[in-house]
Amino acid sequence: MADAPAGAAVACAGIAAWLIGGHNSGARRARVLLAGGGAATGPPRWERVRVDWPGLRARLGPEAWSLVAGGVIAVLGASLVPLFLGAAGMPLLRRVRRAGEARRERERRGHAVIALCGALAGEVRAGRQPGEALLAAARDAGGLAEAQPLVLAAARFGGDVPAALTEAAGQPGAEGLVGLAACWRVAVDRGAGLAAGLDRLEAALRAERDQRADMRAQLAGSRSTASMLAGLPVLGLLLGTALGADPLHVLLHTAPGLGCLAVGGVLESVGLWWALRIVRGAEAA
């Protein structure tokens, strides 16, 4: 009876590994391109059924390694439970990955806003008009590709630049554009110095960014400790296997072991979530 789950686990793990690593599509395209004097005739008929696999691999993402790990443990423990758990962990890992990507994108926008303020202050000091200076600074600073079309159109054609900046500030990480819009209104409507206001705004944004970076560095130890404690059960299983206790068999093939696995998994998840929530709360504060 153990052959069926083991075979299924091996098959699923092999498919997941193939999806992650990919097949040799580059060499096959080169053969197709060079065949017949350079005329591209398309893939052979027997290969056309695999044309959507790259898109499937892209949708699965790196979190498909969770399925691979589940398949390996399923083979070692002769049970389909780890395979199901690995498949269930893919959405969670995908959410974590996307949250990290969103955070990096937010930081990139924040850096771009700071660079834009500095470049705009320099262009204004060079004697350019605010609209012309904004166009030049946006080209030099870059990094605000999503916000530039509306803002640049307003600056180029005499539109409401502060309103465009305020709307662009709604993107995560671009909140500093609200300060830029305020500086623009004060400078244009009341004749105040735009460069001086931009210098103060840039300094404030840099100080806020440095404070966040310092807080993240101080909390890195707490985050690492929580991750290390989360991996201790895996170390316990490895030690039990090294001592010949066969903990996988106890966890996956006995009622008390399945109960301990369920309760331990819930407690482990809740503890890790709570620890990371404390760290995120400290970062937000």
* 168-198: pLDDT as tens digits: 888 888 888 899 989 888 887 665 678 888 9
32 with 61, same domain: the answer is: yes
Quote the CA–CA distance of 75 and 77 in Å, as a whole number: 6
Q: State the Cα angle at 37 between 32 and 39, rounded to 5°.
A: 50
Q: Coil, strand, or helix at residue 125?
A: helix
Indicate if the pLDDT at residue 1 is higher than 50: no
Give yes or no: residues 124 and 37 share one domain: no
Q: So what's the pLDDT on residue 37?
A: 46
Residue 217 lies in a domain: no
Higher pLDDT pick, 13 / 199: 199
What is the model's pLDDT at position 39? 46
113 vs 222, which has greater pLDDT? 113
Residue 199 placed within a domain: yes
Backbone angles phi, psi at 238, to 5 degrees: -65, -40
Higher pLDDT: 95 or 60? It is: 95
Q: For residue 262, what are the contacts with CB-CB under 8 A and spacing of at least 6?
A: none
In this predicted structure, which of 84-88, 141-145, 165-169, 194-198 has the lowest mean pLDDT?
141-145
Is the residue at 99 inside a domain? no
Q: The tokens of 244 are what? A: 């010949």
pLDDT of residue 216 exceeding 90? no
Predicted local distance difference test score (pLDDT) of residue 48: 47
Q: Does the pLDDT value for residue 204 go beyond 90?
A: yes
* pLDDT higher than threshold 70 for residue 19: no
Structural domain contains residue 220:
no
Tokens encoding 138 = 């946006």
CA-based max dimension of the chain = 84
CA pair distance 267, 262, nearest whole angstrom = 9
Cα torsion 116, 118, 121, 126: sign: negative
Kindly report the number of other CB atoms within 10 A of residue 79's CB atom: 21
Axis-axis angle for helices 232-242, 194-230 (nearest 10)? 30
135, pLDDT greater than 80: yes
Within this chain, do residues 114 and 206 fall inside the same structural domain, yes or no? yes
Kindly report which listed range (132-146, 173-187, 213-227) carries the lowest average pLDDT score: 132-146
Q: Please tell me whether residues 203 and 115 are part of one structural domain.
A: yes
* pLDDT value for 190: 64
Per the structure, the count of domains in the chain is: 3
Range of the domain at 2: 1-79
Same domain, yes or no: 191 and 242: no
The answer on pLDDT for 143 being more than 80 is no
Domain C-terminal end among 211, 243, 271: 211
Answer yes or no: is 112 within a domain. yes
Domain assignment of residue 222, yes or no:
no
